[in-house]
Structure formats: structure tokens, C-alpha cells
Amino acid sequence: QVQLEESGGGLVRPGESLRLSCAASRSITYTAMGWYRQAPGKERELVAVITSGGSTNYADSVKGRFTISRDNAKNTVYLQMNSLKPEDAAVYYCNTRGATADWGQGTQVTVSS
């Protein structure tokens, strides 16, 4: 099973940016990947997907602000988050689009003024 490790989270103020990274333990070249987030008291939600061919989809709440990308040579998926809002605060996780891998620890994103 692929192991996934998220990093890059932190504390930012509204309007600022963060870039998250998801490092996989093996090749993800042929795997559609996604970023998920879970805020306190809320269900985990899928916010961005990138297919093996590079097509992307986003939740309406982040569309136009977040960009998912991948570097298959590095077995890594990224999430560029711009114009962050307080409602973006959550623990962010990566996984396959179908969430077939074990969940990692995630990385905390806090957006506070």
C-alpha cells in the first residue's frame, strides 16, 4: 500500500497563501489523486482532484483560489492555496481519488486574523 505524507501547513492570515505537498512512497503516475480537508465538527470533504492525465476538478468553495498539481518524477502532489479564508481552516489530507490508501496524519492549515 502506498504511504502518503502531507506537509506545508501552517498559520496564515486571511488573503495569504500556502503550498501543501503530498509525498508518496511509490509511483503515483497512473493514479488519480485528491486533496481532502476536514474542519472541526465537519465531515471530510474532497476539495481538489487531479487525474493521471492532468485534468483537474475543484469543489466550488475553492475554485479559482486553489490549484492542484503533480510531479510524477517526485511522486508528489501539490495544492497551491491562494486567497485563503477562515473557512479554509482544516486538516488537509491527500489520498487517491477513491481514498484507497491509508490516511496519513494530514497537515494543519489555520487561517486567522
- pLDDT values of the chain reduced to their tens digit, one per residue, 113 residues: 899 999 999 999 999 999 999 999 999 999 999 999 999 999 999 999 999 999 999 999 999 999 999 999 999 999 999 999 999 999 999 999 999 999 999 999 999 99
What does the block give as the cell for 46?
A: 474532497
pLDDT recorded at residue 1: 82
Strand order in the sheet with 90-96: 10-12, 107-111, 90-96, 33-38, 45-50, 56-58
